Amino acid sequence: EAGVTQFPSHSVIEKGQTVTLRCDPISGHDNLYWYRRVMGKEIKFLLHFVKESKQDESGMPNNRFLAERTGGTYSTLKVQPAELEDSGVYFCASRGQGREQFFGPGTRLTVL
């Protein structure tokens, strides 16, 4: 069974540009989560999808972040326009019927 995959693994962009991160969850997992780790801080929750619906987006920092999960399969997280403080590692996790969340390898975003 394939795990959670994320693309790209690294992204370096200029302030003001747009970046789109992609997450492919484990097949059949209805729950998809986005998290972020900023340097020196703990991993923090961004939002939670159940199938294609946003269950909880209380962790989204501001309206420059847009997450979608069309069709309830893969998800994208777009940052537009990117700011310096958006730099960090973005993790995606998926969960089936159990309580365990399985994490992808993350996307390291650097905003210059």
Partner 1 sequence: TQLLEQSPQFLSIQEGENLTVYCNSSSVFSSLQWYRQEPGEGPVLLVTVVTGGEVKKLKRLTFQFGDARKDSSLHITAAQPGDTGLYLCAGGQAGTALIFGKGTTLSVSS
Radius of gyration from C-alpha coordinates of the chain: 13
Q: Which residue of 17, 72, 74, 102 would you call a contact of partner 1, by CB under 8 A?
A: 102
Least CB distance to partner 1 at residue 16 (A): 28
Least CB distance to partner 1 at residue 82 (A): 22
Residue tagged 């693309």 (tokens): 7
How many residues contact partner 1, by CB under 8 A?
24
Contacts to partner 1 from residues 2-61, by CB under 8 A: 4, 9, 31, 33, 35, 41-45, 48, 56, 59
E-strand stretches of 1-112: 5-7, 10-13, 19-24, 31-37, 43-50, 53-56, 65-68, 75-79, 88-95, 102-103, 107-111
Which residues are at the interface with partner 1 (CB under 8 A)?
4, 9, 31, 33, 35, 41-45, 48, 56, 59, 91, 93, 95, 99-106
